[in-house]
Amino acid sequence: MFSYFANPVRFQNLCRILVPVLGIGALLLIVPAWVMGLFLVPPDYQQGDTFRIIYVHVPAVIVASLAYAFLAGASFVSFVWRHSLADTAAKAAAPVGAALTFLGLFTGALWGKPMWGAYWVWDARLTSTLIMLFLFLGYIAIRSAIRDEVASTRIAAITAMIGAINLPIIKFSVDWWSSLHQPASLLRAGGPAIDASMSWPLYMSIAGYACLFGWLVLQQMQSELDERRAYALVQRASGRIASKASAQSKGNPDA
């Protein structure tokens, strides 16, 4: 019990510094990157203006993969060392990761249509991103399905780790599969190395999305810890009231 409360206190202190830094960082990186990407960067000589989608697509996909790695890592720590903070982190990261994965797929589809003539191609990268969305959803589903707190934590952690083993296998399989059945050149046509004026906003938006991910996860974790602490206090108070009442009914106020 004591070690449980000792750890979150240290965590709250860390959050007091990290949350504003990440929040302001996300704001100062994403907004300028989008403005530059939309209005200031010159159009690509091959893709025209359409390449501007890169500044919302690539950061979403990259940070979504980071989010899955984070989920799997936190699940591993939570499963092996029964670290409850790691579990809180995993729980907070899953919905954010799912939303980012969805955004990556959605913007990718809209980018693919004018560029390659198809909203969707069964390429290794697209397929494993789609599978990643299912992994996030499966994690969230199994977590909410199991009522028992400890069991749901540990089973969800195992689920996340299975997914982490599965993702590279899927990627390899689809690579193999599409190299046999499809012209692979389609998606490799990302174009040659892009100009510095185009790449800076991209790096900024990736860093900004990463900051935003960290900010969202930390805020959700703090909320979760507050809610749990409030719950524990209510439980304790109601226990005290109940024991007082039973002591009074026995006519023994000293008990």
Pair of tokens at residue 56:
């919302």
Closest approach, Cβ 251 to another protein, in A, equals 22
Closest approach, Cβ 54 to another protein, in A, equals 10
Query: Using CB under 8 A as the criterion, which residues of the chain lie in contact with another protein when the complex forms?
Result: 34, 38-39, 48-50, 52-53, 56-57, 60, 79, 95-96, 99, 102-103, 106-107, 110-111, 113-114, 127, 131, 134-135, 137-138, 141-142, 145-146, 148, 150-151, 154-155, 158-159, 162-163, 165-166, 169-170, 173-174, 176-177, 180, 212, 216, 219-220, 222-224, 226-227, 229-230, 233-234, 236-237, 240
Closest approach, Cβ 3 to another protein, in A, equals 19
Considering the complex, state which of residue 6 and residue 151 has its C-beta at the smaller distance from another protein.
Answer: 151
Closest approach, Cβ 193 to another protein, in A, equals 22
Q: Residue 90: which of 235, 199, 200, 221 has the closest Cα?
A: 221
Pair of tokens at residue 16:
């007091």
Closest approach, Cβ 185 to another protein, in A, equals 21
Distance between CA atoms of 85 and 218, rounded to whole angstroms? 11
Closest approach, Cβ 177 to another protein, in A, equals 5
DSSP states along the chain: -HHHHHHHHHHHHHHHHHHHHHHHHHHHHHHHHHHIIIIISPPBTTTBGGGGGHHHHHHHHHHHHHHHHHHHHHHHHHHHH--HHHHHHHHHHHHHHHHHHHHHHHHHHHHHHHHHS-S----HHHHHHHHHHHHHHHHHHHHHH--SHHHHHHHHHHHHHHHHHHHHHHHHHHHHHHHHHS-THHHH-S-SPPPHHHHHHHHHHHHHHHHHHHHHHHHHHHHHHHHHHHHHHHHHHHHHHHHHHHHHHTT-TT-
Closest approach, Cβ 240 to another protein, in A, equals 8
66 half-sphere exposure, CB direction, 13 A CA radius: 17
